[in-house]
Structure 1
Amino acid sequence: MTNLTNYHSHCLYCDGRASMDEFIRFAVSEGFTSYGISSHAPLPFATAWTMERDCMDDYLAEFRRLKEKYADQIELVIGLEIDYLNEESHPGIPYFQKLPLDYRIGSVHMLYNPEGTIVDIDTPADVYRGLVDTHFEGDLDSVIRLYYSRLRRMVELGGFDIVGHADKMHYNASLYRPGLLDESWYDLLVSDYFAEIARRQYIVEINTKAYHTLGTFYPNERYFPLFKELGIRVQVNSDAHYPERINSGRPEALAALKTAGFDSVIEWHQGGWVEVSIQ
């Protein structure tokens, strides 16, 4: 199989379940041509799923060691998945910009509720329902609007290359209220968001992490034709937390992109992002 690349994966420096070396060895064994590690970046407070800031030097040093070790087998790149949290903590701040990274993924996992409490909304659907009811008084519309407003603000501030799981809330929200994705206000909200991404020329990943468990990509496949129309560049990433899942959902995502009219994806080769034909 060709187009064997992945730039969204999490190792033991954050909430991944294997070492950086184990992910890379598996990628080599599967015939990947390039591979990127993108641990969850430090936040202003400790969490169970993000890297601590004082681990950053070790993270970068370990990558340099492995890049040299596997130099004749695979092209390796180093990144971070960086959250937009607020105006003081986002991908564009000087701390993240000064790090010697090859790329950065911008994502939103958390929102502030009306009382100013941080709520992690990247959860299973049943937990998500409880969070909406408890922290936002069951007002799903306001949660959705808040989520996309934070994504839009992240896009405006910049400082990253790839939009991570660009509409991840769609699955949980559509289970909370079936039919949501067909409501005109929601479709307009999301379409305007993708138009802003296109205007600023970010790469959008087709995140395949949930394809075999939930039957969906992030972003939703219904928007792939819009991406083609807007000229958005896309790549396929698995958001893997286990080495054996680095290729999960890739064939299906590439096939869906071809059905939507795409004939190429963005991959990292010879030191930069390039368009590569879908084979």
Structure 2
Amino acid sequence: MKFDLHTHHFRCGHADDTIEDYIQAAIKEGLGVIGISDHSPYFASEHDHPNPGIAMARSEFAHYIEEVQRLKAKYEGKIDVLLGVESDFFPEHADVYRAVYEPIPFDYVIGSVHQSGGVSIFNRNRWKGLSAEKQLDQKRLYYKLIGQSAQSGMFQILGHIDAMKGYYPAFADIPAEDAVDEALKLIADSRVAIEINTSGGTKDVGGWYPSDAILERARHFGVAVTFGSDAHKPSRVGEDWDRVAKRLKEIGFTQWQYYKNRQPVVVPL
């Protein structure tokens, strides 16, 4: 059973095409399950659309839910369409987001740290002029936020947990193994999964999120894993599925999982 739980579409402002285009691409690729998980609105803002080009407007959220539900029914028997969302994690606004998500019949919610210390994790300039000590502080803060996101109880999946390396590959070499391990322990204790996200191949770093080294530690701590292409165009749906499955088996994983009705569905590797 092939699945992909991380896809975007035009509403976020930086992805191509419609939800249905991604569903049809998934069918073409032989997937049995496709998850729709566009970027959540900035619910804590007083503005409807404070960040065009980054996330959908708040006024679009209900239309998004309705469209996925309609397409679930339309494609029943052809492919299992799952309702998800990729949610930002801001600890100071967690209660606001939690209240929005609780009544919605999500199959899963992906929690992603996109800002650390008030700055985008993909901002190349955040690293300029930082001493080794300050770089270490930045990495520790990032993994502290990831650990907090696991403990929040809001998410079934944590997205791209070392994506800070996307446009700064040297991030991977900052020696903060203790902070990474602490986050992985909290993830395991919280029984949330981490995704193997293949969109790193579209960034400077190349490859996947997270690194093999982190996946090896994740297995050691008993962290569950899932798959997401993080496709922003339909042609990337299911990208590198077979290669990821092979690598996970080499590391020692025997299964991964997707989610329906916020409950895990185990798929043997």
TM over 0.5: yes
Query: 189, 192, 196: which one pairs with 1:206?
Result: 196
Compared CA separation, residues 111 and 268, structure 1 to 2 (3 A): closer
Give, in angstroms, the shift of residue 191 of structure 1: 1.1
Which residue of 2 is the match for residue 4 of structure 1? 2
Retained in 2: the 8 A contact 1:10–1:38?
Answer: yes
Q: TM-score, normalised by structure 2?
A: 0.88
Local SS of the residue matching 2:184: helix
**Structure 2 partner of 1:140:** 135
Match of 1:111 among 113, 116, 134: 116
1:225 corresponds to: 216
User: Which amino acid in the other structure matches residue 258 of structure 2?
Assistant: E
Distance 1:242 1:34 in 2: 17
Taking the aligned partners of 2:6 and 2:96, their CA distance within structure 1 comes to 16
Q: How many residues align?
A: 260
Regions of 4+ moved over 3 Å: 89-92, 170-174, 211-215, 268-272
Structural mapping, 1:238-277, within 5 Å: 238-268=229-259, 272-277=263-268
Question: Cα distance 1:77–1:101, how it changes in 2: closer, same or farther (>3 A)?
Answer: same
What's the CA shift for 1:272? 4.7
State the percentage of identical aligned residues: 27
Query: How far apart in 2 are the matches of 1:29 and 1:210?
Result: 23
Deviation of the 1:211 alpha carbon: 3.5
Other structure's SS at 1:98 match: coil
The two structures have a TM-score, normalised by structure 1, of: 0.85
- Rounded to whole Å, the distance in 2 between the matches of 1:151 and 1:268 is 20
- Distance in 1 between residues matched to 2:105 and 2:20, nearest whole Å: 20
SS at match of 2:35: strand
Measure how far apart 1:59 and its partner are: 0.5
Note if contact 2:7-2:35 (Cα within 8 Å) is conserved in structure 1: yes
- 2:9 partner SS: coil
How far 1:93 moved relative to its partner?
Answer: 2.0
Q: CA deviation at 1:221?
A: 0.9
Give the aligned partner of residue 115 of structure 1: none
Which consecutive unaligned segments of at least 5 residues does structure 1 have?
113-117
* One of 145, 148, 151 as aligned partner of 1:150: 145
TM superposition shift of 1:150: 1.6
Q: Measure, in 2, the Cα distance between the counterparts of 1:73 and 1:191.
A: 41
Checking the alignment, whether the CA contact within 8 Å between 1:203 and 1:235 is kept in structure 2 is yes
5+ residue gaps, structure 2, are none
Match of 1:37 in 2: 36
Measured in 2, the distance between the counterparts of 1:251 and 1:82 equals: 27
- Secondary structure of the equivalent of 1:226? helix
What amino acid is aligned across from residue 58 of structure 1 in structure 2?
Answer: H
What residue is the counterpart of 1:50 in the other structure?
55
